[in-house]
Amino acid sequence: MHNPYAAPQAGLELPFAPAGEARLLCWNDRIGRVRFVAYSLLGIPLALLFGIVTGIAVGLFGLRSYFDSGPAIQTMGILILTIPLLVLAAATRRRLHDFDVSSWWALMLLVPIFQFVFLIYLLVSPGTPAANRFGAVPPPPDFGVKLGAALGCALLFGFTGLRFL
């Protein structure tokens, strides 16, 4: 006889993607330390590319009179600076999911005193060793991710060095 008040018998495990699959454009996944560096530094070349494309468009289409005004230049500068911030926010969210904590902790990046300490913590501390509520264990970084992290760090240090010339 069927009891309508009995506990459900369905399996409640979440279907996670296998650990061998890594997706660049994902919002709810987990990433490790090397992928965090590679993905968060990806915003620098994207902002440079957007700035170059904007400069070419201004030169080709004769938009110089539009960009001679102050508000248009400020709007374009804000848009160019928003690209790395959005990429860093997405990478930080995924890295916090690796710690099995809520992504609201990413708001620590808005507090000027704690930014540096929080980013060092994200870079140094390991994630949870097993699957957590945000997904399976992230895959180990492959050669492309390591190369991206190395090139991103080289770009960052190169631009910092150029500042002092």
* Segment 10-56, tens digit of pLDDT: 666 655 555 556 666 677 788 888 888 888 887 777 777 877 877 77
pTM: 0.71
Sort residue 10 into left (φ over 0), alpha (ψ -120 to 50) or beta. Answer: beta
Where along the chain do its domains lie?
33-163
User: Tokens for 7?
Assistant: 């506990």
Residue 134 banded pLDDT, cuts 50, 70, 90: confident
Give the pLDDT score at 81: 75
Average pLDDT over residues 94-106: 88
Q: Which of 115, 45, 118, 112 is nearest to 83 (CA)?
A: 45
CA distance 81 to 87: 11
41-55, 66-80, 86-100: which has the minimum mean pLDDT? 66-80
Give the pLDDT score at 149: 87
